[in-house]
Amino acid sequence: MHKQFDIQRKFRFIVYVLVLVSLSLMVVSSYIFHESVQLVELSKQKIYVLDNGKSLLVALREDISENRDAEARDHVKRFHELFFTLEPDKTYIENNVREALYLADRSAMEQYEAFKENNLYNQVIASDISTTLQTDSIKLDFSSYPYRFTFIGKQKIVRKSNITIRSLRTSGYLRNISRTDNNPHGFLMENWRIDENQDLETIKRKSF
């Protein structure tokens, strides 16, 4: 009788061990499966590119749909900062405008030529004028293509005798194009125009 009891106890022990091992294997298998899924998802977020055919680089691929809005805003902001930031330096102005024109179509060039005809840039250089731009808001409409945008900001025009604050409101459309070194966001502004640009206030500067 004692021997039979001992056999039953050993049998139960073996069963418990087998159950424990089975549970442990299930937990380990589940963990490995989870990690495998995570690695697969991570691999999908990477692309491999050749650096001049010599070295292999890993570049993270981002979801374009999640970042397109931010890229569009930065594209519009960057264009306006380049186009309207002026210093009394011909080379500085030309370099800024050249960079800006890569981001827009012929409409920006036409506005640049109009400014030149009105002697704007010569006045800036001759009178030691500095102009900076503050972005207040950029409104985008992605419901239709090309995407309509509206830029609202303020210009600060610093002269020797005074500082003038001007409103600036422009509008246009954004079209998708290939990304380049000169146009990293892959947008081109089309039919851009200045809708409003008028003085808000003039502050007299202190004389030294």
Q: Which residues partner with 187 through β-bridges? A: 176
Name the more confident of 133 and 5. 133
pLDDT of residue 58: 45
For 178-205, give the secondary structure using H, E and C. CCCCCCCCCEEEEEEEEEECCEEEEEEC
User: Domain extents for the chain?
Assistant: 2-59, 65-204
Q: pLDDT for 32-73, tens place per residue?
A: 877 776 765 665 555 555 545 544 444 444 455 558 999 999
CATH class as words, domain 65-204: alpha beta
**Which is nearest to 149 in space by CA: 103, 180, 106?**
103
Query: What is the CB neighbour count within 10 angstroms for residue 195?
Result: 13
- DSSP per residue over 11-38, as a string? HHHHHHHHHHHHHHHHHHHHHHHHHHHH
Statement: residue 128 has pLDDT above 70: yes
Q: Tokens for 171, please give them.
A: 């509008």
Confidence of residue 191 (pLDDT cuts 50, 70, 90): very high
Q: pLDDT for 67-90, tens place per residue?
A: 899 999 999 999 999 999 999 999
Confidence of residue 198 (pLDDT cuts 50, 70, 90): very high
